[in-house]
Amino acid sequence: MSNHAERLRDFDAPADIAAWAAKHPSFDDAWDASPSSRHRVWLGAVSGVAVETIAESAAAAFFAVVESAPETEAFEQAVEESVAASDAETAAKLAERCERDAHALGSYRERDRTREAVIARAAGHVCRAFEALRAAESSMESDRLLRARTTASYMGGGVHAFLPAHPGPATLLVTAPASVERGLLVDAVTSAGEAVALLATLVLDTTSLDDAVWDALATS
């Protein structure tokens, strides 16, 4: 099995994507042959694209597909606020609101309401991606401080003298510890991929969606 396919499997990527990737001898071949943006979201994640960028690419896809209209304004606002959210709790509340609306809209049979339900679900997935990302970042920072406090208690001196270098905002799935943080980052990528897949069902031509996702990933 190719290295990129092994990484996809190791990081709990959807089975269909891992199996598809195994058919391509190199990462570049798989990248170029990607049949959907969902595939590239996962390939990007296991090749070292920051998970923040992965989540942002799903938000970009959302705005590329969802045209501003009164009935979608609340969902667009939720996605905007989730991108700007600095904590997991805020993003979680936004996701819950979208999911409740999606459930309510799903009870209607009208075509427009069905479309709104899909948009609401996609927005919820984008918000969940940022919720998981922020939770992972918070957990990593807590662990960083705990290790510094432990070292300071043994060595003496101030905690800040023993703080490891801050990892910065570019949280990478490929370097995350195999622990809670890694699981959260996998959740973030999964949610981003699900959002993109849902959005693709709303349009006959996915060019705008694909361009938004691929442009976001290419800048990382």
Concatenating the DSSP letter of every residue in 43-57 gives: HHHHHT--HHHHHHH
Write out the two tokens for 211: 């361009």
Listed as ranges, residues in the chain with pLDDT below 50 are: 1, 145-146, 148-149, 151-152, 159, 161-163, 169
Going by C-alpha positions, the residue among 70, 49, 73, 28 that lies closest to residue 192 is 49
Instruction: Give me the pLDDT at residue 134, please.
Output: 92
CA dihedral (51, 53, 54, 58) positive or negative: positive
Helix (H, G, I), strand (E, B) or coil at 173: helix
Instruction: Give me the pLDDT at residue 1, please.
Output: 44
Cα gap 105→198, rounded to integer Å:
15
Instruction: Give me the pLDDT at residue 167, please.
Output: 52
Torsion of CA 183, 186, 188, 190, to 10 degrees: -130
Instruction: Give me the pLDDT at residue 93, please.
Output: 97
| Phi and psi torsions of 4, nearest 5° | -65, -35
Instruction: Give me the pLDDT at residue 159, please.
Output: 44
Torsion of CA 56, 7, 190, 184, to 10 degrees: -90
Helix (H, G, I), strand (E, B) or coil at 1: coil
